[in-house]
Amino acid sequence: MDDKISGMHLGSCLVGEDEITEIVERLAREISGHYESLVSEENPLLLVGILKGAVVFLSDLARALDVPVSLDFMAVSSYGASTDSSGVVRILHDLDTPIEDRHVLIVEDIVDTGLTLQYLREHFSARGPASIGVVAFLDKPDRRAVDVAVEYVGRSIPDEFVVGYGLDWNQRHRALPCVRVIEEMSSEGENG
């Protein structure tokens, strides 16, 4: 699929729908196993989805988990719309829920430099939760700029910019059912 206006091109599925299902089920088993003795109907696991990219993954994961959960969301932005993270994190929407004494699991679409997560872990730690964990659907370890803990990783991928399953390029392609690499078409490339 080519986008002639933006000069971007979508590659084939890097993570297909069947693999996505397997990843979600495996993560749900690991996470349920870890939290089953810690959370209850009275004190459910608080899944914090990082908007907007984590929404698709979170909706699948929440339904696959075997422990009581509640949901909250946070919107953060690194400045600009470039495909490179700037490292400056701005809170656009904060949690509705107090997290003191709660078991909190941050749900991210992808960990790239790790700067967003490093910021979020510190931000949440200051609010006195019972525990903080992170689950990321994808990980790009080659891009890591800071050493930040990610307790659960769906899959590591090479240093490529990917879209689909919630991930966007300039707000586009979030609803693709699989994960695809997006590439810039060279100006003297094919006309197709």
**35 or 137: CB nearest ligand IMP:** 137
Residue 49 found at the interface with ligand IMP (CB under 6 A) = no
**67 or 117: CB nearest Mg ion:** 117
C-alpha angle with apex 82: 79 to 86, nearest 5 degrees?
45
The region that residue 7 occupies, defined by phi over 0 for left and psi between -120 and 50 for alpha, beta otherwise, is left
Which residues make up the interface to Mg ion (CB under 5 A)? 53
Cα 49 to Cα 25: distance, rounded to the nearest angstrom? 18
**129 or 166: CB nearest Mg ion:** 166
Contact yes or no for 134/123 (Cβ under 8 A): no
Find the helix or strand (DSSP H, E) in which 124 lies: helix 115-125
Residue span binding ligand IMP (CB under 6 A) among the ranges 11-19, 97-105, 113-121, 125-133: 113-121
Using CB distances below 5 to 8 A depending on partner kind, what does residue 58 bind out of Mg ion, ligand IMP, none?
A: none
Catalytic status, residue 18: no
- In angstroms, how far is the first alpha carbon of the chain from the final one? 9
Q: What is the DSSP letter of 175?
A: T
Q: Output the smallest distance, CB 167 to ligand IMP, in A.
A: 4
Residue 74 found at the interface with ligand IMP (CB under 6 A) = no
Residue 53 found at the interface with ligand IMP (CB under 6 A) = yes
Cα 153 to Cα 108: distance, rounded to the nearest angstrom? 10
Residues forming contacts to ligand IMP in the complex (CB under 6 A) are: 53, 85, 108-116, 161-163, 167-168
Which positions are annotated as active-site residues? 112
